[in-house]
Amino acid sequence: MAGRLAGRGQPHAPPHAAEFAKCAPDLVSAYPSKWMRLAAVARRNPYDWDDRAVSRFSHPSHPFKILYLADSKETAFWEVFGAAIEDMPVDNRSLSKKAQLSTRRWVEFRVEHVLRLIDVTQEKTLHDLRSNAGTWLAPYKHCQAWARALMDHPRKFDGFIYQACRRGATGRCLALFSRPDEATMETLVRPTTPSGGASVLTDPDVLRLLIQNEIDVR
């Protein structure tokens, strides 16, 4: 994952399929095996493959669903709760113990090093794709169009690493496609957290984040 980070810019649309098929971005040669998910307690399946149009890269019309993972607890925390927190006055930030924190649980995943991934935070990758960094942080319609283009690419990518929306330039997330199907991908991406997942409310890492960012629990 080392390399020069890409600059931003106005979002680009994916090239037409025939032209996009000629794009040959480098596969990631090494990536972390440990990834986190702040999963919804109500969804007992820890994978929660997503095809909702309200999600960043997913859409019901896509050929594959997406599993969203984060490189750390901090990144996952901000991806889930960041939008709500950012809408609050700086001196009056809070999360609901009942409606928000207690509805989530930690699930740690181990990702095998056999997946065909690209890293769209890297300048060379974006150049090879005829894209730019702004595209991947743009409104969801742009992100979803690119995810679909990558799903349809003849190199059959398994997913991509991308910049987290709400943790500056450092947070990384992983979007994994259910290629060729969910059952097959689940043999390569496995939860290592005991059944039920770890509580968010009693997690010292979450407590540290709340204190550092002056977020009350109500």
* Higher per-residue confidence, 21 vs 43: 21
- Predicted model pTM: 0.91
Q: How far apart are CA 175 and CA 58, in angstroms?
A: 9
Of the listed ranges 38-52, 149-163, 175-189, 192-206, the one predicted with least confidence: 192-206
Percentages helix, strand, coil for the chain (3-state, rounded to 5) are: 25, 25, 50
Q: How far apart are CA 124 and CA 132, in angstroms?
A: 10
Condensed to tens digits (0 to 9), the pLDDT of residues 69-112 reads 999 999 999 999 998 898 899 889 999 999 999 999 999 999 99
